[in-house]
């Protein structure tokens, strides 16, 4: 029987400092406009204009559906303040600074700490020492999260960012474990010098994943697969500019 009163799963992002929530909230990923996207779209428009009288098929990464779909999914946590990281070329040590002390901010609770901390070098073991600090930086954000029961919250790096000074670590937050802190672990790629991360810089992306057990089928190609591939090719190849929307309306062979 269908339950009309069943609550829709909801993720709750809770800020330990209300002022920060007003200034720099966690936002839907679709609201983040990366600078490179505009550059890519402008290049696509330029290419269209230059090739408008040329009978060739046009493709461009600015129109890649997979890229744009993942960039719009879930939520993004941004740095609420400027911070700098200084490295000296030894591949391990760093110093950091910020214009405000998060640990000293006024609050009626005990959950406040320095904005940046770290994990000792070599804990993870998989860092590429050629372009990554051996010490993993830990951004101790002022956020906690409630994930609905029966779900994970996938923590991951922003797939196609503007800033390549760091990469956020990937992991799950379990909705069955109550409130959890949203600390962002960063693999740091600037090995010698001072790098400033401005307030508002996206640090990590979060997506909700249902705890479903789904079987996987590994098999050889069959006649239906060939038919589906031919149908897909016919739909995508019949225009100079590829249109993916008709694929959603197709009745595929099963």
Q: pLDDT, tens digit, for every residue of 105-132? A: 988 899 999 999 998 765 555 667 788 9
Domain assignment of residue 35, yes or no? no
Q: How much is the pTM?
A: 0.85
Q: What is the pLDDT of residue 227?
A: 94
Domain that holds residue 241: 221-254
Domain assignment of residue 39, yes or no? no
Q: What is the pLDDT of residue 5?
A: 63
pLDDT tens for each residue of 176-215: 999 999 999 999 999 999 999 999 999 999 999 999 988 9
Classify residue 241 by its DSSP letter.
Answer: B
Average pLDDT over residues 30-37: 90
Domain assignment of residue 3, yes or no? no
Alpha-carbon span 221 to 128, nearest angstrom: 38
Distances in Å between the alpha carbon of 44 and those of 61, 64, 178? 9, 12, 46
Domain match, 150 and 201 both? yes
Domain match, 167 and 231 both? no
Of 127, 150, 136, 138, the C-alpha closest to 181 is 138
Average pLDDT over residues 23-41: 91
User: Given pLDDT bands bounded at 50, 70 and 90, which one contains residue 16?
Assistant: very high
Domain match, 228 and 187 both? no
Domain assignment of residue 49, yes or no? no
| Inter-residue contact 186 to 72 (CB < 8 Å) | no
Least confident of 6-15, 92-101, 118-127, 153-162: 118-127
Q: What is the pLDDT of residue 177?
A: 93
Q: What is the pLDDT of residue 114?
A: 95
Q: Where are the beta strands (DSSP E) in the chain?
A: 12-15, 27-28, 75-78, 83-88, 94-97, 116-119, 136-146, 151-156, 166-168, 171-174, 180-188, 192-197, 202-210
Domain match, 142 and 24 both? yes
Domain match, 124 and 144 both? yes
Domain match, 135 and 161 both? yes
Instruction: List the CATH number of the domain containing 179.
Output: 2.70.40.10
Domain match, 182 and 244 both? no
Domain match, 97 and 170 both? yes
Q: What is the pLDDT of residue 125?
A: 59
Domain match, 179 and 238 both? no
Q: Provide the domain count of the chain.
A: 2
Domain assignment of residue 249, yes or no? yes
Domain match, 179 and 234 both? no
Domain match, 93 and 18 both? yes
In the predicted structure, residue 46 carries a pLDDT above the cut 90: no
Q: Which helix (H) or strand (E) holds 229?
A: helix 223-237
| Inter-residue contact 188 to 89 (CB < 8 Å) | no
Q: What is the pLDDT of residue 41?
A: 81
Domain assignment of residue 47, yes or no? no
Least confident of 14-23, 25-34, 86-95, 231-240: 231-240
Q: Helices H, strands E: what count in the chain?
A: 4, 13
Of 83, 77, 74, the C-alpha closest to 14 is 77
Q: What is the pLDDT of residue 223?
A: 94
Domain assignment of residue 33, yes or no? no
Identify which has the larger pLDDT, 155 or 107: 155
Domain assignment of residue 135, yes or no? yes
Q: What is the pLDDT of residue 194?
A: 97
Tell me, rounded to whole angstroms, the distance of Cα 112 from its chain centroid: 25
Domain match, 101 and 189 both? yes
User: Given pLDDT bands bounded at 50, 70 and 90, which one contains residue 161?
Assistant: very high
């Amino acid at each position: 029987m269908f339950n009309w009163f069943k609550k829709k799963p909801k993720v709750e992002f809770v800020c330990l400092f209300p002022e920060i929530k007003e200034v720099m909230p966690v936002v839907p990923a679709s609201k983040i406009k990366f600078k490179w996207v505009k550059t890519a779209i402008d290049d696509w428009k330029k290419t269209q204009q230059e090739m408008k009288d040329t009978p060739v098929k046009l493709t461009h990464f600015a129109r890649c559906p997979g890229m744009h779909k993942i960039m719009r999914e879930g939520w993004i946590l941004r740095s609420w303040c400027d911070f700098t990281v200084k490295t000296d070329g030894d591949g391990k040590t760093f110093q950091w600074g910020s214009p405000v002390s998060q640990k000293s901010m006024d609050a009626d609770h005990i959950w406040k700490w320095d904005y940046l901390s770290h994990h000792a070098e070599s804990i993870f073991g998989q860092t590429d020492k050629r372009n990554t600090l051996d010490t993993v930086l830990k951004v101790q954000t002022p956020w906690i999260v409630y994930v609905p029961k029966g779900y994970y919250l996938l923590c991951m790096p922003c797939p196609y960012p503007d800033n390549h000074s760091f990469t956020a670590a990937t992991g799950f937050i379990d909705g069955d474990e109550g409130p959890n802190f949203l600390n962002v672990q960063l693999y740091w790629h600037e090995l010698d010098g001072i790098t400033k991360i401005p307030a508002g810089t996206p640090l990590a992306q979060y997506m909700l994943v249902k705890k479903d057990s789904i079987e996987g089928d590994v098999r050889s190609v069959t006649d239906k697969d060939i038919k589906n591939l031919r149908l897909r090719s016919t739909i995508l190849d019949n225009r100079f500019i590829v249109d993916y929307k008709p694929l959603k309306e197709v009745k595929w062979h099963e």
